[in-house]
Structure 1
């Protein structure tokens, strides 16, 4: 990548990481926080508060992505970040679960994932776009890892309400990175048929279903895992990082060798399906043994190995399979499916926790990757990543 592309990737990656850092920091601590409110939240309200962000994200990703085609990427991203900051501040300014849910919904209304991905595509050449997308995904993954480690620690210092307010400040601080660090692309006329073409592609739909199920499982898991850690390991919320840090670091070790192995010799589909099966096995193990410390820790380790691989593989596969003229629409549908999954998983986790306890909620989460295996079994071959060699015709539209 040239200097301009590196600057754009860094700026957009930092913007996205700062935005998601506060969002992810809430996951491991919110369930315990909600149970200590002046009027303690019911399990279904906890699930709704965690998941409603995904619902509003899912509803608005495609409209805001299309708006970015018409009004420009940067104005839509700025608007979305301001809405996100307002929702974060609202959620941190109240101890009423109903208003926290409203704040979470407003956070989600700042649905900029598709617009950010489209902007990155606009300012990078075709030959380096996959690399740029991978770096953006790695920034989000790093934010996820840091957030799970820092969330319990920071909550111990400033409380969960303080995390919400800090998230609003981080969102505002990220705007200069966008405005000063990323070139402004020339607007392109939208293609009216692109959304229809994306929705008619069975390969893309299988991957959209995959991200839906992956993130549904994640939010369902984090609705109940903090409670399991507190009960089984006896760790206070502020000390959960002592488990998350070693588990997350250990889980990253096998992921990159596994990716390299999958990319060679056309093994991607086979490895992909095997990792989805590992995800199901890890959650089933957690459901059966969440009250036994070694079993719970082992299940979490296996879960994060599978999750980290799949979180990186899915957007890479989307970028290879989407027709070049329809990448924006494909990313909008993909992002909508991702956040709709987050909403569905929060509701699933909350209801399953209310009626089946911790074990029942984890068993419900284990059913999701089993469904995924059935959906993904018919997936066709996925080509290896194209080499990042630059070509003269790969001009950037600025």
Structure 2
């Protein structure tokens, strides 16, 4: 049983208003998706150092590496799997795989269990987040892709931020484990239940394909290998979006691991660190509602380029004001959040613009592969630099890489003609 985008017996139509029921259900599902990964934003790096006694920053960040690698590979596989399975089936499987995660985080007897839980979390996030964004794009059609992706990412990352803030508070009152992590049980239960209710969007994809004026050229390959190559390097705009997505999440992976350790070293408590770690994704999330709409009006490229430069400024500000750590953390979180809110929906919309509906899911899967590989790259770079040169050096590296990525995006990405 489920809610249809249109009542039974009436034709399938594209658009946000006519599909508002199903679209809203998918927004709520992505709140649950974001909430589950938000469990880790504040407490898990500190669990590594304070509960399990890890002394190497690279060892602490190993859970992010495991998460990023697994999520990236799952994103890539998800694009190919949509050719064999319905989006709803993959969405439900993603939730089933996520069931053990909150329990493992709450009661893991060793750090290895935490890393293993992040492998499951990566698969969960790769399937569930990929399917929610694909299904929303399917529903609204080409004219409102920016708004659809903005709403999707806003729901997820606002939940990430709210959960990061709440877990910081709960850790202050109840300790690092198990109370903060058990919030995840509610997210998994609600996400799975709603995913069973949502209807699949295969009919909407078929309708858009039927209407699409640009046919796939005869002989053009649409398999995973060809789409991966086209999205990763052959198409100039898709290449520009893929590298920007990778560097964007490289910075996020770095802040995920480094900021809790950096600001606790400066004397901030768990509640203050939770505020910083929560503010960044909440602004990132809520900001994507207006920026997603804006990129449908002014184009994708300006928001991508300036968003990356805003993020670079946020990293720089964290170090410039580090002698006043709470102010530094809050102002850095504001710039990082606003910059990411500008770039994130515009990047997904740009990839959607340059991909034919016949291979769009594969292109989005490839883009999301590179984007979420940034988590692993960021954690690896952060761990190596922090062990060798200190935590501050990792923040400098993030600022330089992010600014450079913005300039590459300005050079490579072109606007696609409005539908």
Query: What TM-score, normalized to structure 1?
Result: 0.83
Structure 1's 128 and 316: CA in aligned 2 closer, same or farther, altered over 3 A?
closer
2:42 is aligned to: 28
> Which shows bigger deviation, 147-156 or 268-277?
268-277
1:392 is aligned to: none
Pick one of 234, 241, 256 that aligns with 1:222. Answer: 256
Q: CA deviation at 1:66?
A: 1.9
Is the counterpart of residue 273 in structure 1 residue 302 in structure 2?
Answer: no
1:54 is aligned to: 68
Is the counterpart of residue 89 in structure 1 residue 103 in structure 2?
Answer: yes
Q: Which runs of 5+ in 1 are unaligned?
A: 387-398
Structure 1's 171 and 250: CA in aligned 2 closer, same or farther, altered over 3 A?
closer
Q: CA deviation at 1:23?
A: 0.8
1:343 is aligned to: 376
CA contact (8 A) 1:8 1:183 kept: no
Q: CA deviation at 1:2?
A: 6.2
1:292 is aligned to: 324
SS class of match (1:381): coil
CA contact (8 A) 1:206 1:376 kept: yes
Whole-angstrom distance in 1 between the partners of 2:276 and 2:38? 16
CA contact (8 A) 2:245 2:367 kept: yes
Q: Which runs of 5+ in 2 are unaligned?
A: 1-14, 210-219
Q: CA deviation at 1:255?
A: 7.7
Whole-angstrom distance in 2 between the partners of 1:342 and 1:38? 22
Pick one of 125, 128, 131 that aligns with 1:115. Answer: 131
Is the counterpart of residue 143 in structure 1 residue 155 in structure 2?
Answer: no
Aligned-residue Cα RMSD (Å) equals 3.3
1:395 is aligned to: none
> Which shows bigger deviation, 223-232 or 356-365?
223-232
Give a deviation string over 1:53-87, Cα, whole Å, max 9, x none. Answer: 11011112222332232122222221121112224
Give a deviation string over 1:282-305, Cα, whole Å, max 9, x none. Answer: 212323442333445433332222
2:171 is aligned to: 155
Give a deviation string over 1:27-54, Cα, whole Å, max 9, x none. Answer: 1222222111144353111111123111
CA contact (8 A) 1:155 1:163 kept: yes
Structure 1's 245 and 384: CA in aligned 2 closer, same or farther, altered over 3 A?
farther
> Which shows bigger deviation, 221-230 or 324-333?
221-230
Structure 1's 131 and 307: CA in aligned 2 closer, same or farther, altered over 3 A?
closer
Whole-angstrom distance in 2 between the partners of 1:246 and 1:132? 23
Whole-angstrom distance in 2 between the partners of 1:71 and 1:271? 34
1:193 is aligned to: 222
Is the counterpart of residue 209 in structure 1 residue 243 in structure 2?
Answer: yes
1:6 is aligned to: 20
SS class of match (2:108): coil
> Which shows bigger deviation, 317-326 or 103-112?
317-326
Pick one of 67, 77, 89 that aligns with 1:75. Answer: 89
Q: CA deviation at 1:215?
A: 0.6
Is the counterpart of residue 104 in structure 1 residue 129 in structure 2?
Answer: no
2:353 is aligned to: 320
> Which shows bigger deviation, 334-343 or 290-299?
290-299
Query: What TM-score, normalized to structure 2?
Result: 0.80
Structure 1's 202 and 299: CA in aligned 2 closer, same or farther, altered over 3 A?
same
> Which shows bigger deviation, 239-248 or 90-99?
239-248
